Amino acid sequence: MRFVDLLKSTVMLSAGAATMLAIVTVVAATADSDNKLVLIGAGWWLAAAIIGALLGRRGQVTAQIGRLLADAKVATMMPEHRPGAVIVNRLWPLLLSTVAAGVVGFWFGQVPMVACGFAVIWSLAWRRQDAAVLAIEERDGVTFYVERTSPIRPISLVRTPGFRREVPTLTSVNGTG
């Protein structure tokens, strides 16, 4: 699976998890007739959206992703293409925490409320990373793929040759306009 696609999937699945946790919060609050929980939750979700938007406003890759790209192994062949397995392998903590918070939320509505805010922060903070990695891929003429590893080991990437994008400049090659 391409690394860019994993980053997009992470953002979308985090946003989906936040939505599901918000629904569980509202259902739990409605069952208990607890209007305060929904109001406090809405305030936390608004604060989480602001925090996530501020964290994700940069157009360049984070330092961690930069190191990951720099440490990518060079390969001449495209690795095995199993996107479902890669997503489950890499995003199992998101799945596990979402399911756990959702289940506990039917007894304690505050748990999915708080977890929803963190999912919102995560989703918004990572929203531009795929575009930054794609720009690096186009500039360097490479494609980064997620290497299959154990779910408890750090992610590693494989770097394969790709297509380089030539961007025309405002001046001609010899400097004349």
Q: What is the 3-state secondary structure (H, E, C) of the chain?
A: CEHHHHHHHHHHHHHHHHHHHHHHHHHHHHHCCCHHHHHHHHHHHHHHHHHHHHHCCCCCCCHHHHHHHHCCEECCCCCCCCHHHHHHHHHHHHHHHHHHHHHHCCCCCHHHHHHHHHHHHHHHHCCCHHHHHHHHHHHHCEEEEECCCCCCCCCCEEEEECCCCCCCCCCCCCCCC
- Predicted TM-score (pTM) of this structure: 0.85
**pLDDT (tens digit, 0 to 9) for every residue of the chain, 177 residues total?**
999 999 999 999 999 999 999 999 999 988 888 889 889 999 999 999 999 999 999 888 889 999 999 999 998 887 888 889 899 999 999 999 999 999 999 889 899 999 999 999 999 999 999 999 999 998 888 999 999 888 999 999 999 987 666 656 566 555 555
Q: What per-residue confidence (pLDDT) applies to 168?
A: 60
